[in-house]
A = this chain, B = another copy of it.
Amino acid sequence: MFFHKQELQFKSVPDKPDAVYARKLQEVLGGQYGEITIAMQYGFQAWNTHIPGKWRDLLFGIASEEFGHVEMLAIMIAQLLEKDPNADMQATVDSDPVMAAVIGGTDVQHAIVAGAGARAVDSNGNPWQGSYITASGNLLADFTANANAEMQGRVQAARLYHMTDDKGVRDLLSFLIARDHMHQNQWIAAAQELREEGYEDLPVPSNFPLSDEVGDVAYTYMNFSDGKQAGEGRWAKGPTPDGKGEFTYHDGPTTTAPMPPPTHPDSRFYGTTDLPNMMEKVAGVAQDKLNKE
């Protein structure tokens, strides 16, 4: 169960309205790596988890904080929109280039659809979607997904930090950037603890029998481009991070197979096939019809 408290985790008040910036801020609310993604991702991981105790606690504890971040951003956006210039646009385009320019940078659905309110969309107005989240049930994979999400989110927030000089907005971003910093650390630590406690290991998933792999390609870099420099990286020589092998380097594939011949599905799919077969096909259809009558 979730309970709501009519306070915010941190002050979220802009110095002044700024509808252009409101549009940009939508990215970290409703974008691929926005707070809705983060909150929902941790929520579904918690609901689907197969281990109780501190792991499920961790997921619930942070998921719930993130729903509060969704709220802080939505409220900030609504405040930034309090003077949406689209309200009296008709008077301005021809006479006031600055106003016209500002309007060009806004999300017009903020005005037309939401009446100067926040929306569950990204900075280009694409609706948030459930396919942004990851919850596979394998926690080493999922914690890596979480670390990535916090990194991408922090990169985006840092970029947004420089796109405004509004003190109130920057304060909120400073707070969110710090929390993303914390959460990066925490998911990396959680991934380490999973490995240390023996729940999972590299490669993920760790209990698929390695003997079922085509073993000789599991540690070989195969280069399908014409550059040679990639052979110099630590991904091409030395021990592998999973501690189970040594990287080798090979220019191009190590094995090839002939391309299978084209398929010949049932003639009633009306695909184009080679001629003799097509004749059979026509006959087959006729025969088929006869059979049915």
Contact = CB atoms under 8 A, between A and B. Distances in A.
A44 B74 CA distance: 7
15 contacts: A3-B224, A4-B64, A6-B60, A48-B114, A51-B262, A54-B233, A57-B228, A81-B263, A100-B105, A117-B136, A136-B271, A177-B208, A178-B218, A184-B203, A198-B278
Contacts of A98: 93-94, 97, 100
Given A89-B163, A159-B111, A257-B8, A116 B20 contact: no
Given A98-B100, A188-B202, A265 B229 contact: no
Given A98-B100, A207-B282, A224-B4, A263 B116 contact: yes
Closest 3 CB pairs of A and B: A104-B104, A48-B117, A124-B125
Interface string A38-63: 00100110011111111111101111
A147 B147 CA distance: 11
How extensive is the interface on chain A, given as a class? 35 or more
A192 B238 CA distance: 13
Given A190-B233, A234-B193, A266-B88, A221 B61 contact: yes
A234 B64 CA distance: 20
Contacts of A203: 151, 154, 180-181, 184-185
Give the number of copies in the complex: 6
Interface in A86-142: 86-91, 93-94, 97-98, 100-105, 107-109, 111-141
A231 B36 CA distance: 25
Nearest to A11: B257
A138 B272 contact: yes
Given A43-B74, A115-B136, A199-B274, 8 more contacts: A5-B226, A31-B112, A47-B78, A56-B227, A101-B104, A102-B104, A108-B124, A182-B219
Interface string A229-269: 11111111000111001010000110111111111111111
